[in-house]
Amino acid sequence: MPCFLMAKLNLNRARFAGKTVIVTGSSSGIGREIALCFAKEGANIVVHGQNDDKLKEVSKAMKELEIPEKNYLLIKGAIQDDATQERIINETLKQFGRINTLVNNAGISQKSAADPNSIESLDAIYEINLRAVYNLTSKVVPHLLKTKGNVVNISSAGSQRGTDSFIPYAMLKAALDHYTRDLALKYAKEGVRVNAVNPGVVETNFIGRHGIPTEVIDQMRTVWAKKTIPMQRVAQPVEVANLVRFLASDEASYITGTTMAVDGGIWAGIPSEL
């Protein structure tokens, strides 16, 4: 059930009350759902995106959830830019005074409508999906050390399976998985946890916004899903958000260095009957 509806049913347990969560790329898709899920459980939320209209839509959703304006912050900018990263950190600390969780969600699958396997796509994906994550996380970690906080990286089920269609995307997500493990080892003794969530195909416009034809996306959601996903459907954003929220919570206090799939069974393999 989407977090919007859960809040309307008064299921808010406020387990994140007083905690501050930064979610990059949270003006739409999975990131938006993650931000709303944390907000409805009492967290102070930093929403980041590049589109004014989408940021306004998130603000509207927050108001519909009856989230006080003082509990969320909207920041616009390209995540790969140092200036954007500095604003995210500085404005977060100014308004909320602390950082408890960083969710590195912002990402692309290719450069606009370019060939997803081109060097142009490789460079663009590297800048946003890996370098920006490394850079921002390095800047946030000193603040997480103070709160014994955590990092959740949004990776992909594609990081563990070979592909011939989105090679740069898959290999850089594999690098993100490795970075997750490395960082977890580095800070485990200091009480900072680092994990990754690896979604399969999710019901968002993530691929569509990069120029993939609508009919191809529709096939992925129906025919392709039934042939390749054991559960025979794509995921809903809230199904990813629920795992992110769990990994950031005290309930996951002994979990670090993991990569957890939300993929309908893709990592397990393809059943023979499919």
pLDDT surpassing 70 at residue 190: yes
Please tell me whether the overall predicted TM-score, pTM, comes out greater than 0.95 for this model.
Answer: no
pLDDT digits (tens, 9 = 90+) for 86-144: 999 999 999 999 999 999 999 998 876 668 889 999 999 999 999 999 999 999 999 99
What's the chain's average pLDDT? 89
**262 vs 6, higher pLDDT:** 262
* CATH number of the structural domain 3-262: 3.40.50.720
pLDDT surpassing 70 at residue 209: no
CA angle in degrees (0–180, nearest 5) for 119-123-128: 145
Residues with catalytic annotation? 169
Q: What are the domain boundaries of the chain? A: 3-262
Residues in Cβ contact with 93 at an 8 Å cutoff, skipping those fewer than 6 apart:
99, 143
Residues in Cβ contact with 229 at an 8 Å cutoff, skipping those fewer than 6 apart:
200, 201, 263, 264, 265, 266
